[in-house]
Structure 1
């Protein structure tokens, strides 16, 4: 794991003060007039600026390979959902495969449209049966994909 802090990473604030030991997501990277790296961290609903030395990297945002692997894992799990209506049984795997093909192209609109449709189908399906074991695999992978989309495009 690279120790370089980048947009989308989760960091822990080491600087003593009001935000000490809080965790947040990096929303932007900037530099001050002395070329010191300034990391803008989202804490709750506010953005706070820190120098990189005041932060400790907790979790790297997912990379392209991890996102594609997450899509593959969801495709595998979708095959176990037996109560999907016929149209969704065809549409969901197709949309996941299209998402997998679209992600390397970094076409934000196309990726977001496909992901929103996938989320909508899965949310409706989960409402019908949230106790099935395959959700333990689908939900974290869906969150990983969402995190990558939010921070990479």
Structure 2
């Protein structure tokens, strides 16, 4: 069942009360003594428990396949960045390719370290050439990868 609520998903609270119509991210799933699925939802700086029936799925967290596609899309965009320094022109595609290979292995430390370096390179590159029209595509795909890393490992 594809619409099953899982950790990392974005949900809308449809239970009448204090949190009605608020949107949050699922930080965990548990079951009570009656085997009713309890979903822990992060709302700002706090977490609240809800029964699954009180929630409506808004956005599924990215799948492994979607993350791999996002990396490929970023690789395509990297070729369009004209002001990329020579060192980064080699390092960035290599790091992205390594990230693509590391993600299926689910090694959190390796993936997080590699992603942090990629993000840092993009931050510096964006400052040097903020006019490139590829940044919207790069940013949305980086966000998808970051979301998957945060919620899957």
TM range, normalised to the smaller chain?
over 0.9
Aligned: 1:28 with 2:24? no
What is the Cα deviation at residue 130 of structure 1? 2.1
The aligned residue for residue 92 of structure 1 is 92
- CA offset at residue 2 of structure 1? 1.2
Q: How many residues align?
A: 153
**Superposed counterparts of 1:124-143, under 5 Å:** 124-143=124-143
Describe how 1:14-53 pairs up with structure 2 within 5 A: 14-53=14-53
Q: Which consecutive residues of structure 2, in runs of 5 or more, have no partner in the other structure? A: none
Instruction: Return the offset for 1:132.
Output: 1.7
What are the within-5 Å matches in structure 2 for residues 104-119 of structure 1? 104-119=104-119
Q: Any gaps of 5 or more consecutive residues in structure 1?
A: none
Q: Provide the C-alpha distance between the structure 2 equivalents of 1:54 and 1:16, rounded to a whole number of angstroms.
A: 9
Q: Which residue of 2 aligns with 1:121?
A: 121
* 1:103-128 superposed Cα distances (whole Å, 9 cap, x missing partner): 00001011001000000000111122
Detail structure 1 runs of 4+ shifted over 4 Å in the superposition. Answer: none
- Alpha-carbon separation, structure 1, partners of 2:35 and 2:130: 50
Compute the RMSD of aligned alpha carbons.
0.9
Counterpart residue number, 1:149: 149
Deviation of 1:136 after TM superposition, in Å, equals: 1.4
Q: Taking structure 1 as the reference length, what is the TM-score of the superposition?
A: 0.98
1:12 matched residue in structure 2: 12
2:113 aligned counterpart, secondary structure: helix
| 1:129 positional shift | 2.2
Match of 1:77 in 2: 77
Bigger mean CA deviation after superposition, 95-104 or 82-91 = 82-91
